[in-house]
Amino acid sequence: MDLPKEALALLRKNRRVTGGYQYTVPAQGKYPYQWLWDSCFHAIVLSSLEPDAAKAEIRSLLSRQFPDGMVPHIIFWEKGFPHLYDWGWGTNGTSSITQPPMLAYAVWEIHKRTGDKAFLEEVYPKLLAFYQYLIGKRDPQDHHLVGIINPDESGEDNSPRFDTPLGVKSDITFLWHLYRRHKLVMENRVCNFDVEMCMSKNFWVKDVPFNAILVKNLEILGHIASLLAHNEGTHFATEHKKLVAAAMRERLFENGVYWSASDHVYRLLKVPTWAHFAPLFADLYTKEEAEALIKEHFNNTETFKAPFGIRTVSKKEPSYQRDGFWRGPVWIAPHWFMYKGLVAYGFKNEAAFLKESTLSLLERSGFREYFDPETGAGYGAKDFTWGTLALDMTEV
Ligand code: GLC
């Protein structure tokens, strides 16, 4: 497979322009809109291939930012299947929930590749407003952990991490799970998506990957703000980066790993998923802890390490299903997050394993949505864009 050529061809094929805004759909047919973290991934990959398209991806994403700073997880640019993917009021053409905050990272990649400071100046106020929203509104108790109000905000829609707070059993089917999440959207409509009310009544999870991604992005927001000599922004980002990291350590760390937590009392959700590895992305383990994590979990073939990569859920979990969407299969974005973390810690062999297994999945099954960890078979959408992230796995 000629990866650079095929990746660029796919990103171009999935490119759309509506009302003057250019964006990339994750997969023709199944995902015909613009998604928040997907667009950040597209921008990261495009930053070195077609930087103007990368910038357009960010501009279109930010064009529907809410007055309070929230960036919605879907922009319904074109009419598609709103009955299935309508996660909001349907007003202003967006959903009413967000997704992991990868925006600062994506913007910084564009700047690193182009040196375009004017682009940073242009998007900075909106970036700052988004992170201020997360810190200001998503942490009503001022405990420095950001909460999500729907599993879909994690980007891992039916992950078993959320079974307990969602009130579902581990053998739930995909469709019942979707139904339950839609019911949650209806419940959140009743409280008008007012975060504090919706959270305390319906679903409130302090998720590990979401907060780890936030820490990394606050660090980068700090770099952007200081390059632009925006002292207040630098202060905000560096302070909150430290506070969120410390709160994760204080409330989410137990037995050598990080666990997501729910409710006001921070009940730990003890379901082993790839979330254990996500904090590597934000340097949240000490070197010794990271070594133990790699030995006991990452390289453990009975739990996470599979012939075709790292399972998103431990094989020992009752909820594990090798073809179960976010209940076990390999997904390329988690591979990419773990890869970046492992490279930064200097775990070259493990990073190389992720890169090689990613490439072999693409070679074997093409740009599929997710993959069977045991056989490498591809599942879900075809011509799904996340596989293009393999182009950004070049350090080892
Ligand atoms: C699925 C994924 C989510 C992604 C979306 C669009 O819902 O779980 O993470 O953003 O598809 O690709």
CA–CA dist 321, 172 (Å, integer): 11
Q: What is the pLDDT of residue 147?
A: 96
Answer whether 31 contacts ligand 1 (Cβ < 6 A). Answer: yes
Q: What is the pLDDT of residue 84?
A: 57
Q: What is the pLDDT of residue 165?
A: 96
Instruction: Name, in order, each residue with C-beta under 8 angstroms of 134's C-beta and a sequence gap of 6 or more.
Output: 98, 101, 146, 214
Number of H helices and number of E strands within the chain? Answer: 14, 13
Averages of pLDDT over runs of 10 residues in the chain (396 residues) are 96 97 96 96 98 98 96 87 61 87 98 98 98 96 95 97 96 93 90 86 95 99 98 98 98 98 94 98 98 98 98 98 98 99 98 98 98 98 98 97
Query: pTM of the entire structure?
Result: 0.98
Looking from the CA of residue 155, the nearest atom of ligand 1 is 9
Catalytic-role residue among 157, 263, 323, 392: 157
Mutate to test the pocket of ligand 1, among 37, 38, 336 (most ligand atoms within 8 A of CB): 38
85 contacts 74 by C-beta, under 8 angstroms: yes
Looking from the CA of residue 384, the nearest atom of ligand 1 is 12
Answer whether 26 contacts ligand 1 (Cβ < 6 A). Answer: yes
- For 15, other C-beta atoms within 10 Å of its C-beta total 17
Q: What is the pLDDT of residue 349?
A: 98
Instruction: Name, in order, each residue with C-beta under 8 angstroms of 115's C-beta and a sequence gap of 6 or more.
Output: none
- For 349, other C-beta atoms within 10 Å of its C-beta total 10
Q: What is the pLDDT of residue 78?
A: 81
DSSP code of residue 305: E
CA–CA dist 315, 34 (Å, integer): 32
Mutate to test the pocket of ligand 1, among 14, 35, 102, 326 (most ligand atoms within 8 A of CB): 35
Answer whether 334 contacts ligand 1 (Cβ < 6 A). Answer: no
CATH fold for the domain made of 3-392: Glycosyltransferase (1.50.10)
Asked about 395 being catalytic, the answer comes back as: no
Measured on CA atoms in the order 139, 36, 127, 159, is the torsion positive or negative? positive
Domain boundaries, the chain: 3-392
